[in-house]
Amino acid sequence: MISVNCLSDRLFELLNGNRLNEKQHEAFVLQTVSEDGWPHAAMISVGEMIALNRTDIRIALWKNTMTSANILRTGKAQFTAWWKGAAYYVKLECTPLPPLKDAEYDRDRFSCRVVSVKEDIAKYADLTSGICIQLHSPEEVLNRWKKTLEEVKR
């Protein structure tokens, strides 16, 4: 397992906001800690998270979720992604961004700094997939994702 404090080229490729159509089936687990100290897991997609560079990530979450509340309270999150044969565990320090008055989709937005990235590749087996999703209305969702990523970058 390799541990660093920035995204690898492969992970940055996944999260750079480009070619959403090709990545529409990719989903991740975003973990936070609840008020009672238990881990809280939520699904997040490539349309809700964007890497601005190898150390700065923006996240857009639906308003008033437990995940948003946990990040607002602790300033921390971790996400797990699976991409091109590796599992990635990424710890983030998160700061809320101000609401956008002209946002088409009202989201809680966070600016996050990568604290650590662990890349996990098994020597004895190939990792062939992670969480894969099938969108019900791909065109509609991909359009929303593009707008969401543009808004979270502002």
Tokens 């437990």 -> residue: 66
In this predicted model, what pLDDT tens digit does every residue of 119-143 receive, in sequence order? 998 888 888 888 888 999 999 999 9
In this predicted model, what pLDDT tens digit does every residue of 33-77 receive, in sequence order? 999 999 999 999 999 999 999 999 999 999 999 999 999 999 999
Per-residue pLDDT band at 1 (split at 50, 70, 90): low
Query: Does 96 score more than 70 pLDDT?
Result: yes
Instruction: State the Cα–Cα distance between residues 93 and 131, nearest whole angstrom.
Output: 24
Instruction: Identify the structural domains of the chain with CATH numbers, from first to last.
Output: 2-153 (2.30.110.10)
